[in-house]
Amino acid sequence: MDSKQFEQLLEKYWNCETSLEEEKQLREYFRGEVSGNLKETADLFRYFETQQEQAVVGSDFDAVVKKKIKQQQPKGKSVSMIFNVARIAAGVLVVVTATYFVRQEVRKAYPPEIVDTYSDPKLALEETKKALMMISKGFNKAQKEAGKIKAFNDAEEKLHKQGKNEETI
């Protein structure tokens, strides 16, 4: 490659019009000695080449990676299974807790005293009779007391009438 061709190629490179093959040619060219004004450009291409040699430090890198991926294998599966089980368990827990609280609320709204306590209708009838008898006893007692008040009223009326008769005489 003569210097004119080379300059054209380099210009193409700066304009991003070179193919990979042409870029390879440039790198090869710059491996040799170059004139003063292209020294820095040569350094750039040499820099690109030295960078290609950079490699991972540590010869046991492959072994470390292989060990790590072997550790990953079972762990990944069990984690996802535990996760699924935990999701289902959480769902069930929510439902159970909700049911418990709803039951509690329902019990509060309908206190047990109101709920019928007698399962045997005969026993219930007896109990009702007893209660009614107690009430009627109370009424009778009250009526007796009220009879006394009536005697007072009669006496008062008699006195009133007598008073009136005396006025007319």
Partner 1 sequence: MNLEMFETQVLPTKNKLYRFAFRLLGNSEEAQDVVQDVFIKLWNGRDQLAEVQNMEAWCMRITKNLSLDRLRARQRRSTDSINHGFEIRHEDLTPHERTEIHENMQQINHMIAALPEKQRQVIHLRDIEGYSYNEICEILELDMNQVKVNLFRARSAVREKLVKMNAYGL
Residue ranges binding partner 1 (CB under 8 A): 13-16, 20, 23-24, 37, 39-41, 43-44, 46-48, 50-52, 54-58, 61-62, 64-66, 68-69, 72, 76
Shortest distance, position 5 Cβ to partner 1, whole Å:
20
Q: Which of 45, 55, 44, 40 is nearest to 22 (CA)?
A: 45
Shortest distance, position 51 Cβ to partner 1, whole Å:
5
Q: Which of 41, 37, 32 is nearest to 9 (CA)?
A: 41
Range list of H helices, the chain: 3-14, 20-31, 39-52, 61-109, 121-168
Q: What are phi and psi of 56, to 5 degrees?
A: -60, 140
Q: What are phi and psi of 86, to 5 degrees?
A: -60, -35
Give whichever of 53 and 113 is closer to partner 1, judged by the CB atom. Answer: 53
Give whichever of 80 and 153 is closer to partner 1, judged by the CB atom. Answer: 80
> Can you tell me whether residue 56 is helix, strand or coil?
coil
Shortest distance, position 104 Cβ to partner 1, whole Å:
47
Give whichever of 67 and 103 is closer to partner 1, judged by the CB atom. Answer: 67
Contact between 1 and 11 under an 8 Å Cβ cutoff? The reply is: no
Give whichever of 72 and 99 is closer to partner 1, judged by the CB atom. Answer: 72
Give whichever of 51 and 117 is closer to partner 1, judged by the CB atom. Answer: 51
Shortest distance, position 43 Cβ to partner 1, whole Å:
4
The one-character DSSP state at 111 is: -
- Alpha-carbon distance 45 to 26, whole Å? 8
Shortest distance, position 71 Cβ to partner 1, whole Å:
9
